[in-house]
Structure 1
Amino acid sequence: MADTTGTPGTGTGSLPFDSDRPRKSSWRYIGPGIVVAATGVGAGDLVATLIAGSNFGYTLLWAAVIGCLVKISLAEACGRWHLATGRTLFDGWASLGRWTTYFFAVYVVVWGFVYGAAAMSSSALPLQALFPDVFPADWSIKPWAILCGIVGLVFVWFNKYDVFEKVMTVLVGVMFVVTVYLAIRVTPNLGDAFAGLLPVLPDEKDSVLNTLGLIGGVGGTITLAAYGYWVNAKGWTTTGWMKVMRLDNRVAYLTTGVFVVAMLFVGAELLHASHVAISSGDKGLLDLTGVLEAQYGTVTAKLFLVGFFATSFTSLIGVWHGVSLMFADFVERYRSARVTGTEVARGDREKGLPFRAYLLWLTFPPIVLLFQGQPFRLIILYGVLGAAFMPFLALTLLWLLNSHRTPHRWRNGRLSNGMLAVAGLLFVVLCVQQIWDQPWSDVF
């Protein structure tokens, strides 16, 4: 007979039977998926998709769609682990051996230091373009970058998950309106777009690696791992929420798919047809702003900058919140303090010292990089660790969800195993490529 004596939120007993009853999938529950979509799709992802559209037209539309399907499988696996086991992802990693702790410890410190500067700079670029006279031109984007980082810090520091989710939803709405408006404005060729759903490789050098890069880069890195933590923070802590989580996750990557397809349309119609090239990285969106102003006027260009800021700032505050939750969990496991999903749902971690310490780490040390440049060897290490994280995530999920650590009912089926295996192989190839491409001769 089921144990119905536990008390929700105590972390010491079974939850009441009612809490395990399946909730009906409903749009009114949607939340963590919006957060992971907003955080995962940054300015760099949009630029990569724009460049793919610029270089190959609609040819790689199918790759963008597959990228969304791959990320659906990864995020679903993260959420399923949290709900099925009542344990966090880092708790699962720790059960695989100390090597996971060492990898994550180095990764989260180095990655956070470099990413903090990148996220602040990305959010600052559209603000400087929108308000060029606020700060002297020779100050570059530094004041805006520092301001974005501190605003993100204050917002996450003083607000719990529910407020955070509402703000992210509003910013996603802005992103959605802007990207869909642009896709409609450039008048896409729907016949060519549908033809782009056929899996065809461009007839160019390195087309396979470029295609794999587009698939792997569609929306999310460590933020995929944070999805399970946001699921718990929403208050979903038992298997009764499994159907809701799966609907939420599909909405996340349907939203991501809209962003990516819309920007590929813009690249194919606006840049490919006119043979206009844009820069790689976040500055490519500023290049696009100039093209939009020349083609469609100042209002469209300004609207795009607003969408650019929403895209960048959602990634910033999403990482400030989600990865800080993961770091707090990491510290608690290191201290051998057992903390369950119900305690995450109460917001205990959001007010704890480890959560806030990592918030400070993401914000203030990276400011040094804004003024002194990025140390070469540190950037190499950042690139290697970043390339290694996604295969680490895919393959450890494959391990955890096929083992005794997961209740039998919620272990992987054939489809999940197939998708995670494909994801793992994809990211191993991309990892090897990125490590190979690093300028090691300059390091030694």
Structure 2
Amino acid sequence: MSDTTGKAAGAAATDPYALTPEGIKEPPVGWRASFRYLGPGLIMSASIVGSGELIATTALGAQAGFVLLWLVIISTLVKVAVQVELARWTIATGEPALSGYDKVPPRIGRIGWVNLLWIVLALSKLLQVGGIIGGTAAAFSILLPLGGDPLGFPSLTIWTCILAVGSIALLYSNSYTLIERGAAVLVVIFTAITVLIALGLPLTPFSYGAGDLVGGLAFLIPAGAIGAAVAMFGITGVGADEITFYTYWCLEKGYARWTGPNDGSEEWARRANGWIRVMYKDAFLSWVIYTFGTLAFYLMGAAVLHPQGLVPSGNGMITTLSRIYTDTLGEWASVLFLIGAIAVLGSTMWAAIPSWSRMYTNLLATLGVLDWKDPVARLRWIRIFTVVLPILWAVCFLAIQSPVIMVQIGGVTTGIFLVAAVVAVWYLRRTETDPRLHGGQGFSVLLVVSSAAIALLGVYTLLSVFGLEIGG
């Protein structure tokens, strides 16, 4: 056997995307036994607790005050059922999201219409993730300027290049364990700091009370805040990209492989439902993390920035956002904020690079460029995108240099694609998910409510894009 053949055989033996009888493992029961099998949600949380929270949610709080607090809560909660349902299909079939999207009729040439729309989403995300790299570069540049003014083009360019090259070097191996552990560390650091500061605001001059919170739960959207609200709804909580790439991390953790191929037996159904329950716990834990993170950022924007008329924009976004900390704790807190901003924005980069690399590779596989089931070819293409994507994102930022606008454009496109994701989820549930794995009646109701809310978001987003602002 040649060395190449041996490597291919070894990769196939442990390939999380290949369902074999040898890979079967009994699912754990209860939280204590399940804890070591959680992890995909941490990677997803690393992506979520980043651009949406630090940039879009804080900017919305600064612009609208407490009045849209209700939207923050709904935006994190309403999309979880769709995320879980798509992951259920993945565990049952061993296939990732874009392979499923490609099955939804009608087809347009060689590609399904959902994947065609996904390409549009991916192009807009070049701007959004470019904004993430830009925000992180700005934070590094303010902390340690290189080549001149902290927000000048030379320093921003140097730091953007350092971030792109450093990300490629760290993530080139595409080790699931490395990605999961790095995400966990980044999420814990900044979420803990931010929640503590948000809870401590009532003890500062920028305090908020029960009246502010109750007023924020009235279902109102003030005129002038509709565009930011739509972008926030699309980008905070589980967005279309997170719903999609969560399936890849569920596979790489091992949920589908441990379930094994569907042989029609009751044993298989029992195992599948067991690992689906583990996935429920994983999704719930991630929901708790990003919901508290989102609320903390919104409260800080509403309580500190809104009364002063400060709204984050342009490359000065980081400076404006730092006022949340310096105005609350004093000038010394600027360094604390910058380190925290690097952690939260860096966590998004950490999760986005390997996630989008897998999705782009899967798209090419649906077009026949490679065999997705070939672990060697799949890893080769994932590594290619691990190199190419950070470079593209960096170029986008250096060309535009407006992180807030770049992130909000991605948010609007995400809101539109969410509708296509819902259509795909219902199609796959009806045609491919074993009925024995369907959730109970309560979950079915949640899925209907979630789907309806996302559909309304899509309609509202389209109307806003064409200048038809309902209630504006």
* 1:19 maps onto 2:25 in alignment: yes
* 1:318 maps onto 2:337 in alignment: no
Which of 94, 97, 102 lines up with 1:86 in the alignment? 94
* 1:163 maps onto 2:178 in alignment: yes
Q: Deviations over 1:62-116 (max 9, x none)?
A: 2211111123223212321211222221121111133337515733663464345
* 1:421 maps onto 2:451 in alignment: yes
Q: Distance in 2 between matches of 1:145 and 1:156?
A: 16
- CA spacing shift, 1:65–1:148, aligned 2, 3 Å: same
Q: Indicate the residue corresponding to 1:228 in structure 2.
A: 247
- CA spacing shift, 1:195–1:93, aligned 2, 3 Å: same
Q: Indicate the residue corresponding to 1:205 in structure 2.
A: 223
What is the CA-CA distance between 1:9 and the residue it aligns to? 5.0
Greater alpha carbon shift after TM alignment, 33-42 vs 215-224? 215-224
Write the letter of the residue equivalent to 2:427. W
Which of 245, 262, 265 lines up with 2:279 in the alignment? 245
Q: Indicate the residue corresponding to 1:364 in structure 2.
A: 391
What is the CA-CA distance between 1:361 and the residue it aligns to? 2.4
The correspondence of residues 388-427 of structure 1 with structure 2, limited to 5 A, is: 388-401=416-429, 403-411=430-438, 413=441, 414-427=444-457
Q: Distance in 2 between matches of 1:246 and 1:332?
A: 29
Q: Distance in 1 between matches of 2:228 and 2:133?
A: 27
Q: Distance in 1 between matches of 2:71 and 2:61?
A: 11
Aligned 8 A contact 2:174 2:383 in 1: no
Write the letter of the residue equivalent to 1:264. Y
What is the CA-CA distance between 1:11 and the residue it aligns to? 7.0
Q: Indicate the residue corresponding to 2:334 in structure 1.
A: 301
- CA spacing shift, 1:247–1:11, aligned 2, 3 Å: closer
Q: Distance in 1 between matches of 2:80 and 2:122?
A: 27
Write the letter of the residue equivalent to 1:15. P
Q: Distance in 2 between matches of 1:281 and 1:337?
A: 40
What is the CA-CA distance between 1:434 and the residue it aligns to? 5.0
Which of 114, 128, 131 lines up with 2:127 in the alignment? 114
* 1:58 maps onto 2:66 in alignment: yes
Q: Indicate the residue corresponding to 2:199 in structure 1.
A: 184
Q: Deviations over 1:302-329 (max 9, x none)?
A: 1111111111111112110111112222
- CA spacing shift, 1:328–1:360, aligned 2, 3 Å: same
Q: Distance in 2 between matches of 1:437 and 1:20?
A: 54
The correspondence of residues 423-438 of structure 1 with structure 2, limited to 5 A, is: 423-437=453-467
Secondary structure (helix, strand or coil) at the match of 2:255 reads coil
Greater alpha carbon shift after TM alignment, 382-391 vs 237-246? 382-391
Q: Distance in 2 between matches of 1:410 and 1:285?
A: 46
Q: Deviations over 1:132-188 (max 9, x none)?
A: 2x3322414111111111111111102401011111111111111221132133225
- CA spacing shift, 1:305–1:94, aligned 2, 3 Å: same
Q: Indicate the residue corresponding to 1:442 in structure 2.
A: none
Q: Indicate the residue corresponding to 2:317 in structure 1.
A: 284
Q: Indicate the residue corresponding to 1:4 in structure 2.
A: none
Aligned 8 A contact 1:40 1:224 in 2: no
Secondary structure (helix, strand or coil) at the match of 1:226 reads helix
Aligned 8 A contact 1:223 1:323 in 2: no
What is the CA-CA distance between 1:437 and the residue it aligns to? 5.0
- CA spacing shift, 1:56–1:368, aligned 2, 3 Å: closer
Secondary structure (helix, strand or coil) at the match of 2:78 reads helix
Aligned 8 A contact 1:8 1:15 in 2: no
What is the CA-CA distance between 1:195 and the residue it aligns to? 1.7
TM-score for the superposition, normalised by structure 2: 0.78
TM-score for the superposition, normalised by structure 1: 0.82
Q: Deviations over 1:203-261 (max 9, x none)?
A: x3256666554433313341221001011111221323111111111111111111111
Q: Indicate the residue corresponding to 1:42 in structure 2.
A: 50
Which of 278, 281, 290 lines up with 1:256 in the alignment? 290
- Corresponding pairs, count: 418
Q: Distance in 2 between matches of 1:211 and 1:105?
A: 22
Secondary structure (helix, strand or coil) at the match of 1:192 reads helix
Q: Indicate the residue corresponding to 1:126 in structure 2.
A: 139
Q: Deviations over 1:20-72 (max 9, x none)?
A: 65643433332111110110232343333223333444332222111111232
Q: Distance in 1 between matches of 2:52 and 2:21?
A: 42
- CA spacing shift, 1:221–1:153, aligned 2, 3 Å: farther
Q: Indicate the residue corresponding to 1:3 in structure 2.
A: none
Q: Distance in 2 between matches of 1:167 and 1:184?
A: 26
Q: Distance in 2 between matches of 1:382 and 1:52?
A: 15
Q: Distance in 2 between matches of 1:216 and 1:372?
A: 25
Unaligned runs of 5+ in 2: 1-12, 260-271
Q: Distance in 2 between matches of 1:53 and 1:370?
A: 24
Q: Distance in 2 between matches of 1:52 and 1:373?
A: 21
Write the letter of the residue equivalent to 2:251. N
Write the letter of the residue equivalent to 1:257. T
* 1:266 maps onto 2:278 in alignment: no
- CA spacing shift, 1:435–1:152, aligned 2, 3 Å: same
- Identity in percent: 21
